[in-house]
A and B are shown apart, each in its own frame.
Chain A
């Protein structure tokens, strides 16, 4: 028997491909150690360190002009683009958590390293060209987020959110693994390159379709698509708000990035073979999300259902299966992250007797107490509705247009009707901020001024940054749209 080769590296391996991931994991470990020795009173220093690390990784994680590979890890335009998105969005979510962790019951500094681990896991998901590695990235991210959701340890709802997310997430992982195993049984490999060949003459085998369907069920849980969305409102509501903002943006973006690379790009036959169930799921997701959001009094829960509805819009790109739709999906993710973070940040401004105030009615009078924050909230809400010229509008136009080009007229009609429906509750938030002031004060309610947290510079800056991003994406979308197109064009074999 031959001795083991001394060089264990896969053939053609280039360390440059894994460097962004190594930096991310190194940053997480570094912050974990730094947090141990950091004086408790100035814990926010760890937060600044985390932001610096994330910004550095966003720069270091850019793709070289020529794609490089390290076995099942690719650093091409796509993973470079996703690295940037995940790190920048995560950095913004850390910025808004600096001031708000304690009021949300998060007292432990492990928040920051766990968040970095989650980002690193997401980067693995976006870069993996092998289903096993993608799954491990997903688990690394999920494991960190299960714990993050439960970091409000003294709050029962946070505990419940963590347990619920963990149990259902583990369940979803089992489905996904089963799907991967079935695909392996057909392809003889977990490499994504082998998946395209599963569709021979006369379509795919039943086992292949079952495997792909189970894989999609696993993804459906992670992106909170109907009928696998039932955990989302409870977990989003129970988790500490900074964690919810992170989950609604970074975790969702990473899940969609993995869905793009491992299903949409690697298994182009999925869009054809599973078209009807995907179509129904996308339409049901946006409709259920919007209808449920209409009935919410809690702003946090409303945003959770709104996030489900946006999953529905995003899932249309998977139904369409074209590269234009995929590029529009990437662009939509960026715009969606900006406007959602802004909305969560404004919500985090409010607190009632040391507890976060999370109802829509708590916003009453914010227009007078904090005009700038209320303006930012207005921008985010209008953008979530899809009003021009904001980021959400451009994102919707490009996504709906791409789905229309693929020939799914009815689906786009459903999506447009849903957008109109969603205006009802998004505009309800604006009404609460500007017009409900007199009513609530007359009824003996506390005025908004008393609910706004006193001077929170980091939170204010993050609100302004998010609103600015929404406006900028809307006014000049072409650089971002062009970069997302280039990112997709760089994926090998597509």
Chain B
């Protein structure tokens, strides 16, 4: 039964993901992405990872997607890109992507332990698994260094965003004409 539900949900997720990359309208793509992220949250719940599922909806399906939609509407993107790729290039790209996806799928399906019902199924979970307390415990012990590094990464990203986004004050941008300014 649970396998049936899994495959049904997986099919919906894949269809939504395909919608993200095939819709010409970026707003439609973004909405399909919301759906995909939402479906992933459902999988997290199936896996008993309740906190991750909640965060997935609040952060990704919520905050990040609102940001996406803002950017799309603010930039007023046209549906079609300026230079459509060469048709042959498109075919090659699709072929490579399809081969890669098929290869990954074959390897994963062929190996027990990755798909439900495989070797990993039926494992006994610790009490409180997937809750806030359990997650916090490993986040601030085993993954303390990774957690701190993530904050450094965010700091770098903020500095970088400010550097790239800030308009140059006119007086501060003397592009030298001769290169003999020093």
Contact = CB atoms under 8 A, between A and B. Distances in A.
Contacts of A162: 164
Contact of B160 (A132, A136, A147, A206): A147
Contact of B141 (A8, A114, A151): A8
A99 B182 contact: yes
Contact of B143 (A105, A132, A137): A132
A219 interface: no
A409 B18 CA distance: 47
A139 B176 CA distance: 34
B177 A353 contact: yes
A456 B181 CA distance: 11
Interface stretch (A69-77, A254-262, A437-445): A69-77
B140 interface: yes
Interface in B133-149: 133, 136-137, 140-146, 149
B178 A354 contact: yes
Nearest to A207: B111
Interface string A85-122: 00000000000000100110101101001100100110
Contacts of B150: 136
A130 interface: yes
B40 to A, nearest CB: 13
A165 to B, nearest CB: 12
A105 B176 CA distance: 9
B3 interface: no
Given A5-B141, A8-B144, A143-B156, A210 B172 contact: no
A18 B146 CA distance: 12
A421 interface: no
Contacts of B179: 103, 351, 353-355, 453
A146 B153 contact: no
Contact of B168 (A1, A107, A133, A143): A107
Given A154-B173, A351-B179, A354-B175, A146 B160 contact: yes
A102 B136 CA distance: 47
B156 A4 contact: no
Interface residues of A, number: 58
A136 B153 contact: yes
Interface string A26-56: 0001001000000010000000000000000
A70 B145 contact: yes
A200 interface: no
A116 to B, nearest CB: 10
A143 B143 CA distance: 21
A143 B164 CA distance: 12
A285 B69 CA distance: 41
A276 interface: no
B90 to A, nearest CB: 17
Contacts of B146: 72, 130, 132-133, 136
Contact of A206 (B110, B145, B168, B174): B110
27 contacts: A71-B145, A99-B182, A102-B176, A103-B179, A107-B168, A107-B174, A108-B163, A110-B162, A113-B159, A114-B159, A114-B163, A117-B159, A136-B146, A136-B150, A147-B159, A147-B164, A151-B163, A154-B175, A185-B113, A210-B103, A210-B107, A353-B178, A354-B175, A354-B176, A453-B179, A454-B182, A456-B182
A-B pairs with lowest CB-CB distance, top 5: A147-B160, A351-B179, A136-B149, A354-B179, A207-B111
Given A71-B145, A107-B172, A354-B178, 16 more contacts: A4-B137, A107-B173, A117-B155, A117-B156, A117-B159, A133-B146, A136-B146, A136-B149, A136-B153, A140-B149, A140-B153, A140-B156, A186-B113, A205-B111, A210-B104, A354-B179
